[in-house]
Each structure stands twice: as structure tokens, then as C-alpha cells.
Amino acid sequence: MPLTRRIFLGTGAGVLAQAQTVAPSDRISVGMIAVGSRSHELLEAIKKVDGTEIVGVCDAYSGRVQRAIERTDGRAKKYASYKDILADPSIDAVTIGTPDHWHRQMVIEALEAGKDVYCEKPLTFNIDEGLEIAVAAERAGKILQVGSQGISSDSTKMLRDWVQSGKLGQITMVRAAYNRNSPGGAWIYPIPSDASPETVDWEAFLGPAPEREFDLARFFRWRCYKEYSGGIATDLFVHLCTTIHYVTGAVMPSDVVAMGDLYRWRESRNVPDTLNAVLRYKEGFTVNLSSTFNSRADGGYGFQVLGTEGAAQLAGRTLTLYPDPAYDNNAWIVGAWPKKLEEAYYSTPEGRAELRPPKRTEEVYRDTGPAATVAHLADFFHAVGNRGANIEDAWDGHHAASCAHLINASAETGSMMHWDFERHRAVS
């Protein structure tokens, strides 16, 4: 879809056919809690969802507030803190784009203030928070959408169709990787030249995190520190786990084992720059997740679902099916038999089948649908408008984030971790 086109709420995400206009009085007014890098992308995406209006923003760094107000052509108002956004009864829904250690508190306060909530992934900073948030969302009767937007893309929906219809046969393995090889890829982001105690609200950033001295690296590169982030697992693997759960219908792995190491970016962090994890699902498949910030092996990103009838690969917006029907060529085995027996073999049904190799024509699906973030937000606002179901609720967010927390726990302790399906907690 061209970037200028808007998604209309009456149609639901990704379905643009019967667009319907929304009267200004019916607009969903949105407050943005934190307007950091990701939230500026959310802001631009919300502008493309008809029937919404961004009315307020807040952030712990003044430069980001200024830029966000510019992006709304001055229509959004600056609020001093997230509590002021929550206290404003004219605001219907909020987005939360703070670092991860703040999510639980802000989500719960927002639900209790009667707001519908779009919270960036990972939903939680630790496993216990997930159940608490899911219960709070149910109690409040509010919509909670978690922001792993990939599942709202047409290509992921197509992958889900392929998996669920049996087109790939029996799925036994999923492989996925995120690899990078640059400072920015390793979260060493540039720090704005005006950043100082005058422009940065350090106490607001810290919130529930341990007290420590003003530190611009921690403020702008918080993913590098376990006090605010779960590193690779919560930043990147959580997207992969959300997609894996969505396409397979599985809820959680039963067993998780991982290794994490810090090889290269030692000066800048206390979380690994290389992480490998294996997740076993009771549904009958295993997942291999890997990420390194020291090489862009395989072009950086890869997602493969391996089945007995074929493999699907998702790379960016291109989904490719590699058919792989069972086919044997035992020529090298029977070629070592007596000639007569070899000839006899090729007159049997198995032998004859080997003389007719199946066609393996690749199927390529190029996603030309809405950008995933726009579609994911449209799905959220559609649910807000209709009080219906949304694609990634608190339970989905809790489960995907819990995979990341199990991975980190395994990497830190050296033990295999298990999921207690009844009590929603980790068991080692």
C-alpha cells in the first residue's frame, strides 16, 4: 500500500475494501507515553489510521517531545508526565514506548485509569509481571495490544495459512536468526548533542529501576543494561516467539536451554552480544533462535519453518515456499548390488518412483499489503472502536516475553528451564 493511504477503522486491519469515514466526534484520542525512536514510528503510523487523533505526548527527554509535536503539526499537547496523560479523561487510548522496566507499572496504571493500551514489546520485564498484567486487563475490560507488529503483516498471515492448512506437512523445526555487525546494530546509538541534566529527566527514566547516577549512555542505550532490558532475548527473540506462536498456534515452549556470551562490545554493556537458544514445544517441534552482533551471517535476518512437505522462509516482506515432497534416489546403494538385482529394483514401485523426481517449483509471495506497524495499530484501534478482540493481547505478550525471560534465565544459570503451564512460571 502506498505510504500516503490511510487505513479506515471500519474495515479492520489489512482489509481496505469498504472504507468508512469516522465523524470527528467519534475520533479515538490518543496519548503517547514516551516518544522515543520507536514511538516516532508509531506516531507516523497512527497518522495513517483514520479515526484517530494524537492529542498528547510526554517523554523524559525534551528533544523528543519537541519533535513529536512537530510531527503532529502542533496539534498534540505536551504533558509533564505519563500520570497527567492518564488523568486526562478526554484521552481514550495510550501508547507506551518506554524502556522495558517501566512497562508493567505504566500498563497497569493506564488500565486502571480506564485507557485502552498499546504497549510496545516486550510486554514484561520479568515473568511474574505477565500474569499480573493479563489479570489487570481482564478486570479493567480494556483492550491491550502488545507491539510485535510482524504478525499483522500479510506475509506472516500467509505463512500461518500455509502452516495451518498443512501445506508444509508436519512441522518439526523452526529456525530464526537476527544478526548484526555495527555499533548501531549493537544498540550503541548516537546521543543528541543537547542531552544534559536540563533536557533529560533521569529520575523519570529510572522509575522502578535501581537508583544510580546520571548516565547518558544508560539513558539512550538502555538495551545494553540488564537493569532496563533483557538484551537480545527481549529485544529481538520476542518478535520471533510472537510470530512462532501465531503461525503454529502453540502457546509456550515446555523446555528452554540457552547460551549467552559477550565477545566484542564489552565496554558498553552487561548483556550478551551473542545468544543461542533452543525451545522445545509439546506440539511436536523444536525452535532454534540465534543472534550475534559480531557478523551479519546469512544477510542478517532469517526465519524458516521446516516441514515434511516443504520449508517456508520469511525474509523481510518476501515469503518463499520450497516444496520438498519425500523423494529418494538410492542409485548409489543399488548400484553396488549385482546388476540383475539392481534392474529388478527399478521394476518395483519404489524403484520406478525414483526414476520420476518430483517437481520442486518454488512459490514466492511478495507482501504488498500495509506496513506491519500500521496494520497492527489499525487492528488495535479497530478493537478499541468495536470493543472486539485484537490480534496480540496480554496473554500473547506475556507468553512471548516469558520465552525471552526463560532464555535469559537459562543462559545466566546454565540450567535448562521449564514452563509450568498451570502456574505461569519458570521451573529449573
What residues line the site for ligand NAD (CB under 6 A)?
33-34, 36-39, 58-61, 64, 82, 97-100, 102, 120-121, 147, 149, 204-205, 207, 222, 235
Cβ distance to ligand NAD smaller for residue 171 or 289: 289
Residue 140: in which H helix or E strand, if any? helix 127-140
Phi/psi of residue 164, nearest 5 degrees: -70, -30
Phi/psi of residue 142, nearest 5 degrees: -105, 160
Nearest residue to ligand NAD, by Cβ distance, number only: 36
Nearest Cα residue to 387 out of 163, 92, 178: 92
Cβ distance to ligand NAD smaller for residue 194 or 343: 194
Closest separation between CB of residue 360 and ligand NAD, Å? Answer: 34
As a whole number of angstroms, the distance between CA 52 and CA 28 comes to: 5
Closest separation between CB of residue 150 and ligand NAD, Å? Answer: 8
Number of Cβ within 10 Å of residue 362's Cβ equals: 10
Cβ distance to ligand NAD smaller for residue 162 or 219: 219
Grid coordinates representing 315? 525474509
Closest separation between CB of residue 68 and ligand NAD, Å? Answer: 10
Cβ distance to ligand NAD smaller for residue 28 or 57: 57
Cβ distance to ligand NAD smaller for residue 35 or 111: 35
Residue type, 319: L
With helix as H, strand as E and coil as C, how does 192-250 read? CCCCCCCCECHHHHHCCCCCCCCCHHHHHCHHHCCCCCCHHHHHHHHHHHHHHHHHHCC
In angstroms, how far is the first alpha carbon of the chain from the final one? Answer: 47
Closest separation between CB of residue 100 and ligand NAD, Å? Answer: 5
Closest separation between CB of residue 82 and ligand NAD, Å? Answer: 5
Cβ distance to ligand NAD smaller for residue 34 or 240: 34
Cβ atoms of 392 and 227 closer than 8 Å? no
Closest separation between CB of residue 58 and ligand NAD, Å? Answer: 5
